[in-house]
Amino acid sequence: MKRKIVILTLCACLLCCCLSGPGALAGGEVCFIAVNDRLLEISSMPYFYGGVTYVPYWVFTDYDFKIYYSYFSETSTAMLYNSDSQLFFDMKNNTVYDDRDNSYSYRAVMRNGSVYVPATLVCNFFGGMACSYISGGKYGDVLRIKDGSFALTDTQFMLAADLPMQTRYEAYMAAQKPEEATPAPTPTASPEQTPGRDAAPLYLSFTGLPDSTILSALRLENAEACFFLTAEQVRSDPELVRRLDGEGFKLGVLCSDDALADYEETSELIFEAAHTKTLLVTALGDDAQHCARAAEENGLVFWSYDIDGMSTDAVAVYSANIISALENRTSASSLFLSCDEITASFISPMLRAMEEMKLDVRAARETDDWDGAW
């Protein structure tokens, strides 16, 4: 009997990607896992890929969730189960299904000899568990999996875990440092260009609020960017807006045809959330001319783009066209992307390609003189 499809199959680009390389860690280099009120060792860091958070299977089997694990080597299939349900991860065919003939658009991955499973899927499938991401910790972020037995709120937990996080973080960072070697001579930069970097900057901008995949990819590659937001988006998650500003990203206003009203409302909300003032505005399509005119009349800075990363739904074409445009450019340029699942699916390899091309990636700023097409 064919299994009933309950969720769309994985995006074709994810099926083609190799998962053997390192995934972006949300929150930068370190992300801990916590189970209820217990902080796990730093060696059990989660793995982030394609917008999905993976954790070692034993996170669910070793901490009183009453979930058990089996692995069938003949079929390369891992199984998580309890007294009521079974969830199978076919590692050979990259499929997931349950004992009721339902299929799910996820997969498990093998990392360091251990099976990693999608955290949210397991929590939802077995029920009674929740997965939350706590960002902004001094010594890293925390992926916390909880059932009804936790005692501390997320805020209380971060305070209680501060010392063990510090100890484990410092030990981890010390282990990452390479052995000291004789430093190579420092090359002298010319006045016009830093060695190894493209003289013509690439301004990277996004519309909307990023998910953890986009944000962690930017942080992992140390890439600057500007996020242009609407009033509704700022209202929906002022904490994330505050986090973006605190991590050094720039903020701007995405306007409609009534650009000045949009700017006044949104910039005030950004100030309330992050205590920062922006003069950056942009608009898409036919609204761009109205926005540019309003900006000129009101002392604002209109930011345009000449590389459109928002015009197609085909991932392969989407990323290939952008890479081609970046390779063929001869002057400063501005790339706009939307914060959506498509961008999340290829942002990491795209940022790595930018690094390989030695591009000088920058965020839009009020003081930069960008005169691109619109």
pLDDT below 70 — which residues of the chain?
1-28, 136-137, 177-199, 311-321, 369-374
Instruction: Please state the pTM of the whole predicted model.
Output: 0.49
Q: Please give the class, per CATH, of domain 4-170.
A: alpha beta
Angle at 212 (CA atoms; ends 210, 213), nearest 5 degrees: 90
d(CA 274, CA 63): 38
* Radius of gyration, CA atoms only, the chain: 23
pLDDT of residue 208: 94
**154-198 per-position pLDDT tens digit:** 888 888 888 888 888 888 888 776 655 555 555 444 444 333 334
pLDDT of residue 171: 85
Q: Please give the class, per CATH, of domain 202-362.
A: alpha beta
SS3 per residue for the chain: CCCEECCCCCCHHHHHCCCCCCCECCCCCCEEEEECCEECCHHHCCEEECCEEEEECHHHHCCCCCCEEEEECCCCEEEEECCCCEEEEECCCCEEEECCCEEECCCCEEECCEEEEEHHHHHHHHCCCEEEEECCCCCCEEEEEECCCCCCCHHHHHHHCHHHHHHHHHHHHHHHCCCCCCCCCCCCCCCCCCCCCCCCCEEEEEECCCCHHHHHHHHHCCCCCEEEECHHHHHHCHHHHHHHHHCCCEEEEEECCCHHHHHHHHHHHHHHHHCCCCCEEEECCCHHHHHHHHHHHHCCEECCCCEEECCCCCHHHHHHHHHHHHHHCCCCEEEEEECCHHHHHHHHHHHHHHHHCCCCEECCCCCCCCCCCC
User: Which residue ranges make up each domain of the chain?
Assistant: 4-170, 202-362
